[in-house]
Amino acid sequence: MAHSHLSTPAIGHLQRLLFFENLIIIDADKANAMSKFDLLKETFLGNPVERVPISLWKHHPEVDRSPEGLAQAEIAFHKKHDHDLLKISFFGHYPCIDFGCKAAYDGAITGSTTLTEAAVNATEDWETLEPLDVNTGEFGNQVRAVELIRAYSHGRVPTMSTIFDPPMVADRICGRQFSRYADEAPEILHGALELITEVLADFARATLEAGADGLFIASQHSTFSSISDAHYDEFVYPYDVKLLSKVRRKAQFVVLHLHAREENEKIRFDKIVKTPGVDGVNWEDQTSNLSLSQGKKIARKAVFGGIDHNGVFRSGSPDEAKEQVLEAVKAAGARRLVVAPGCVITVDTPPENIQAVVDGVRGIDPFEGE
């Protein structure tokens, strides 16, 4: 039988081919690693993912009053922790200023501002509100911040801009007297809410055009203790649905934040999570009466939570903060979950606690127990 022989040069050539082939395989593996964008998309769809995503957000008091200051702070925060979804946290009263309000930071640990002057102090003041150009004034400053952040985030990390729902903005404009005006001047309040909804829809679209990938729509009237059922059904839910209908097609995803002020508050969860066009829902799962695992079963869509942002995450050791989150993930299950705070991370939360949670989440095997 004839034997084939490879010359030394031929062997060398074969070795080089194998070497480069291995490099190609390695590079392909790297290329196939799930990007933050794909990770988020598959999490929303409920598909298996290679790791549990985490999103972190906080206010950046004082510096967040300029587009450049906010952008620099958000970028620095993301560079430090490399979380999977960057929520752009505009300062707390940004939608109210152009309507005539004034606000200032008074040292609150949330990092948010306090209203110092309301635009509406009497029923007739509602009728002085006018449509706004969201590319100018305080709204325009936030749009500019999104543009600056996009220069960093594009192709690196998905972003979502924070939009307050119309009743929340109306409540702040009138110095938290929303329910009183709902009783005393319902038709006038409806007219104001229609105007505010149009302005917020314009602003949401402007942030998406400026580079935000999705929207984080926050509501402060989602709990039974915050407003009566009658007022919720007439003055809150219809305007939330209307806002969503106006912005949904422009956004790659929409996440709802359901704020709970007190311990063990009950949220109108069942109704809200069925709102058309919602991809994910976030609430204070560690302090309200609805756990992360319970909410996940009801929602049947992505849930954001697991971090006890006002508890051990803020005041415990790094190990305690990490263990709390790992237990929450274990109880809720890794699928359709984005680890996140229930509301803003306080400004006094130790950075080492934040990083310990990020590292702990990164070490979770999402397939364990499935």
Domains detected in the chain: 36-362 (3.20.20.210)
Show the tokens assigned to 142.
């936030």
How far apart CA 182 and CA 185 sit, in angstroms, is: 6
What pLDDT sits at residue 370?
A: 58
Residues of the chain with pLDDT under 70: 1-32, 369-370
Show the tokens assigned to 277.
């066009």
What pLDDT sits at residue 367?
A: 81
The pLDDT tens digits for 106-121 are: 999 999 999 999 999 9
Show the tokens assigned to 14.
């074969």
b/e map 300-318, b = 16+ CB within 10 Å: ebbbbbbbbbbebbbebeb
What pLDDT sits at residue 4?
A: 39
What pLDDT sits at residue 369?
A: 60
**CB-based contacts of 274, cutoff 8 Å, min separation 6:** none
The pLDDT tens digits for 88-147 are: 999 999 999 999 999 999 999 999 999 999 999 999 999 999 999 999 999 999 999 999
Query: Where do we find the tokens 């949220």?
Result: 267
For residue 223, give the 3-state DSSP assignment: strand
Say if CB 174 and CB 115 are below 8 A apart: no
Determine the angle formed by the axes of helices 137-153 and 67-81, rounding to 10 degrees. 30
What pLDDT sits at residue 33?
A: 78
Show the tokens assigned to 63.
């510096």
Show the tokens assigned to 31.
């290329």
How far apart CA 267 and CA 305 sit, in angstroms, is: 15
Question: What is the 8-class DSSP label of residue 253?
Answer: E
| DSSP secondary structure of 314-363 | HHS-HHHHHHHHHHHHHHH-STTEEEEESSPBPTTS-HHHHHHHHHHHHT
Give the full edge-to-edge strand order of the sheet including 55-56: 55-56, 85-88, 159-164, 214-219, 253-258, 280-283, 302-307, 337-341
**Cβ neighbours of 7 (radius 10 Å):** 8
Q: Strand 102-104 to strand 114-117: parallel, antiparallel, or no bridges (unpaired)? A: antiparallel
For residue 162, give the 3-state DSSP assignment: strand
Find the length of the chain.
Answer: 370
Beta strand residue intervals within the chain, DSSP E: 55-56, 85-88, 102-104, 114-117, 159-164, 214-219, 253-258, 280-283, 302-307, 337-341
